[in-house]
Amino acid sequence: MPDKQLLKQLFLDTRTGTEKICSFLEVEDHVVQPIVDVSPPKWHLGHTTWFFEEFLLSQLPDHKPFDIRFSYVFNSYYESVGERVLRPDRGNLTRPTVKEVLEYRKSVTSKVVSLLEEGKDISENLLQVLELGIHHEKQHQELLYTDIKYILGSNPLFPVYNENFEENPPEKEPQKWIKMAEGIYEIGHNNKEFCYDNELGRHKVFLHEFEISNRLITNKEFLEFVEDGGYEKVLLWHSEAWDWIQQNSVSSPLYWHRVNGVWHQFTMKGLVKLIPEAPVTHISYYEAFAFAEWRQMRLPTEFEWEASQHHFKWGSRWEWTESAYLPYPGYSKAEGAIGEYNGKFMVNQKVLRGSSVASSPDHIRPTYRNFFHPHLRWQFTGIRLAKKQILGGEGNPSVQPLK
């Protein structure tokens, strides 16, 4: 059973952390929704609060909702809970105000703390819901960062979010290829620390011998792809991806801008010159795959990534893999609305591994399975390559040589 006092401190730290993220914003920034995938910061503040009220506090016999209408406003995708504001319409919610949402947060936070301090016996199930809610909010902290960046990056003034936000750590390690032996590897969560249900079902996988890069692809390397006409070479792209770049006029990573002949990147510090040594970011799976093809390489599978991750540094970018988001052996969804958390998204998405500069430090682990549709790139996503293999009829697989 999770420790109540530890959960209380983690809960308070998390709630404070979310509000600190929004403290750098103006009131007007809280309501904007440029695209369907980006939610207004005010909605994140309310939704992460609603989660605790709906799934924890409402289970208590004496609980009275802060505002019964908020369930409709701040439910995200929990169909079994009830009706909700559709995702594209979140930016139309000028009410409740930011002030009201912050009062809502304060009320729910206080009630959760009181529940933990009153000395009442709390069921293991409710403590687990509390722990899930904390990590759910940590996910939204990362979404807050990336949604805020998209909101500000869509503004022609390119406003600064926070001068101290470091999002482009340089890749200083010289290029090396880590060779992993053919064999059977164990995959999945294997300790008592928190994880999501999609990480459970530790199981064995067979991997052929493979080689994986010790570092991520940099802006300089991706710029070579751009300048070589990579976005114009149809043979590098999936058919669906080719349609995507044509329909959306994509010719460079998100947030890249060519100003007076010089490449710049919009960052949390505003518009700055592109840093060649920084790992490329805001890349779709489509672009990651095409770049790998251009380099006569490939993306690793999520199993190759997990088996080899202790041999390289990771954590500044979510890394696209060649794996579809599917359940592990023996996977089963939780009962009720909580079961909608992960399982129903296991279709038409790609797995990303690692974490990013926007991830909460105590929300990171090597078994974490992030997932997004292949065209999305507003998250801090990047590229790690593996060498292509030629599997012959006999003997060990050989590595395809580079030109």
Instruction: In whole angstroms, give the CA distance from residue 211 to residue 267.
Output: 33
Question: Would you say residue 216 has pLDDT above 80?
Answer: yes
Say what percent of the chain tops pLDDT 70: 96
Q: Residue 224, SS3?
A: helix
Give start-end residues of each CATH 1.20.120 domain in the chain: 4-153
Query: For the residues of 15-39, what is the DSSP string, one character each?
Result: HHHHHHHHTTS-GGGGS--SSTT--
H or E element in which residue 285 lies: helix 285-294
Residue 224 is which amino acid? Answer: E
H or E element in which residue 115 lies: helix 98-117
Six-digit token string for 26: 């103006």
Q: What angle do CA 324, 329, 330 make, to 5 degrees?
A: 130
Report which of residues 124 and 367 the model is more confident about: 367
Pick the CATH number of 4-153 from 2.60.40, 1.20.120, 1.10.760, 1.10.3470: 1.20.120
pLDDT of residue 392: 65
**Taking Cα atoms as reference points, which of 55, 54, 28 lies closest to residue 41?**
28
CB 112 within 8 A of CB 75: no
**Taking Cα atoms as reference points, which of 140, 141, 145 lies closest to residue 165?**
145
Residue 331 is which amino acid? Answer: Y
pLDDT of residue 79: 86
What is the mean predicted confidence (pLDDT) over 53-77?
Answer: 95
pLDDT of residue 119: 64
Task: Give the range with max mean pLDDT: 15-29, 115-129, 336-350.
Answer: 15-29
CB 161 within 8 A of CB 152: yes
CB 399 within 8 A of CB 389: yes
What is the mean predicted confidence (pLDDT) over 277-283?
Answer: 98
pLDDT of residue 1: 60
pLDDT of residue 2: 72
386 - beta bridge partners? 212, 298
Report the chain's C-alpha Rg in angstroms: 22
Question: Would you say residue 92 has pLDDT above 70?
Answer: yes
What is the mean predicted confidence (pLDDT) over 170-199?
Answer: 95
pLDDT of residue 336: 76
pLDDT of residue 400: 52
Q: What is the topology classification, in CATH, of domain 177-399?
A: paralog of FGE (formylglycine-generating enzyme) (3.90.1580)
Q: If pLDDT is split at 50, 70 and 90, which confidence band does 386 have?
A: very high
Residue 191 is which amino acid? Answer: N
CB 53 within 8 A of CB 110: no
Of 119-123, 156-160, 367-371, 376-380, where does mean pLDDT reach its minimum? 119-123
Question: Would you say residue 136 has pLDDT above 50?
Answer: yes
Categorise residue 19: left if φ over 0, alpha if ψ from -120 to 50, beta otherwise: alpha
Write phi, then psi, for 245 (nearest 5 degrees): -70, -30
Residue 133 is which amino acid? Answer: G
Question: Would you say residue 272 has pLDDT above 80?
Answer: yes
Give start-end residues of each CATH 3.90.1580.10 domain in the chain: 177-399
Q: What is the DSSP letter of 216?
A: P
Instruction: In whole angstroms, give the CA distance from residue 318 to residue 306.
Output: 13
Spacing of C-alpha 205 from chain mean position: 25
Question: Would you say residue 403 has pLDDT above 70?
Answer: no
Six-digit token string for 229: 């006409």
What is the mean predicted confidence (pLDDT) over 117-121?
Answer: 74
Q: If pLDDT is split at 50, 70 and 90, which confidence band does 55 have?
A: very high
Write phi, then psi, for 39 (nearest 5 degrees): -100, 145
pLDDT of residue 52: 98
Question: Would you say residue 319 has pLDDT above 90?
Answer: yes
Report which of residues 385 and 337 the model is more confident about: 385
What does the mean pLDDT of the chain come to? 94
pLDDT tens, 344-384?
899 999 999 999 999 999 999 999 999 999 999 999 999 99
